[in-house]
Each structure stands twice: as C-alpha cells, then as structure tokens.
C-alpha cells in the first residue's frame, strides 16, 4: 500500500485528481468506480477543471457508482444520482449510457446478487476505484458486522452512518434506512484502490488501516490490506500528525 500524507484537504484532492486524470489520459476508455460524500468532491472538481481547461476527454470513460439509497427517487436532491450529476457528470462529456448505479439492477439483485458485478465484468472490470472511509471504517455501505457481503446487495444502514449522513437532510429521520451497495468482493476486484481520508473523525479508521496487522469485519476498510495495488491519501488531521 502506497501512503501519501498531505497537509490538508485541497492537497489531498489535487494528488487524487492527478492520479485519476493520468489514468484517463493514458487509457481513454478507463472504467472508474466512483464514491459519493464530501470526501471526493475535490477530486471531482479537479477532473471537471481538467476537462474544461485542458481537454480531458470522457467520451469513452465508463463509471460505476458504489452505492445508492433505496426509497429515494433518482431526482431527489440527496440521491447519489443527483450528487454525481451536480458534481461531475453535467460538466464533462461523458455518455449517459456509460454511467451506472447499482439500483438500476435492484430487482435483479434481489434474485441474483451478481447482477451489478456481472455488468462491471462485461465492461472489463474497474481500473480505478475511488473510496472514502466512514468514521466507523465502512467503505461504500459495507458496515462493521460479523459478516460482510461479497456481491452487490441490499444493506441496512447503521445508526452511526445515518447520523453521519443526516447533515445532507433536514433531520436524521429523513435519512433512508436501506441502500444498495457494492460488496467487498466487488470493490476488491478493482485493479487499483484509491482511498481518501481527511479530518480528525477519520483518524481511528485510518490508524487501523495503517497498523496493517489486523484484517477485521469490524473495520471493513482493513480488507484493503489484501489488495495488491492500493493508494491511501490522507491529510494531517486524519493521519494524526
């Protein structure tokens, strides 16, 4: 695992943006795994700027988002469809046919847990998977538990995750209780994991990952220790230095 420590969020986002931009320039038909939340916003801003000012071409790029709330329409202000549209897709020349979310196969997921994963496989697999880290060590909506899902599946959100996401809603009661999320196996099959973490509230999860000695379902991000190509970018607050 390559660990890059940066001074603050802006530098973390720039370094991550350079990595993602470099992949697209090297491989114009790159397949990107995308995350939502506040952590990757700076990365997406970098990609938008690279497209608008430096001609970064998204025509042949394919994207797969990690997760989506259930029981929210796609047009809802807090849906992840809306998040991605407002922060990346509307500003670059990506084809709508190349954009994928796990809820599009929700009915199939209930019958066949490999539906979304099979779609990723048909696209050639994910070249670069962008990941944030939850305060409790979750990645995507893979929450700490005795067992973790391998394939994309329906999940129940923990109170801590709903509380963390409540800042995007009027109250925690409005936060959906369920989501559909890429599984740990889906995530670990990506060729390169790009993990971003900033802020003091991520320090404990980052510490458990940097410790490198324990792989546990109590902290799902530690499963990244099994992956052969991981880049972890953290700011000083998250790194504890």
Distance CA 181, CA 191 (A): 19
Distance CA 83, CA 76 (A): 9
Q: With helix as H, strand as E and coil as C, how does 89-126 read?
A: HHHCCCCHHHEECHHHHHHHHHHCCCHHHHHHHHCCCC
* Residue whose C-alpha is closest to residue 138's, from 149, 127, 128: 149
Distance CA 173, CA 158 (A): 13
- Written as one string, the DSSP assignment of 197-230 is E-SGGGHHHHHHHHH-S---TTSGGGGGGG-SSE
* Residue whose C-alpha is closest to residue 211's, from 224, 199, 200: 224
Question: Known catalytic residues?
Answer: 67, 136, 138, 143
User: What six digits make up the tokens of 66?
Assistant: 């990690």
């Amino acid at each position: 695992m390559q660990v890059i420590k940066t001074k603050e969020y802006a530098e973390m986002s720039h370094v991550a943006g350079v990595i993602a931009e470099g992949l697209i320039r090297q491989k114009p038909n790159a397949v990107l795994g995308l995350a939502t939340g506040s952590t990757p916003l700076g990365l997406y801003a970098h990609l938008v700027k690279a497209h608008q000012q430096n001609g970064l071409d998204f025509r042949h790029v394919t994207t797969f988002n990690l997760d989506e709330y259930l029981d929210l329409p796609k047009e809802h202000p807090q849906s992840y469809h809306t998040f991605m549209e407002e922060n990346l897709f509307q500003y670059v020349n990506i084809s709508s046919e190349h954009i994928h979310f796990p809820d599009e196969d929700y009915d199939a997921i209930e019958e066949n847990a490999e539906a979304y994963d099979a779609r990723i496989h048909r696209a050639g697999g994910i070249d670069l998977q962008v990941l944030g880290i939850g305060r409790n060590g979750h990645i995507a909506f893979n929450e700490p538990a005795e067992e973790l899902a391998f394939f994309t599946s329906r999940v129940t959100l923990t109170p801590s995750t709903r509380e963390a996401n409540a800042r995007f809603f009027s109250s925690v009661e409005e936060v959906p209780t369920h989501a559909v999320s890429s599984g740990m196996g889906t995530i670990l099959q990506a060729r390169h994991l790009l993990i971003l973490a900033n802020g003091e509230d991520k320090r404990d999860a980052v510490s458990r990952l940097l410790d490198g000695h324990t792989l546990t379902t109590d902290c799902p991000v530690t499963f990244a220790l099994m992956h052969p190509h991981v880049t972890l970018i953290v700011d000083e607050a998250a790194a504890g230095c």
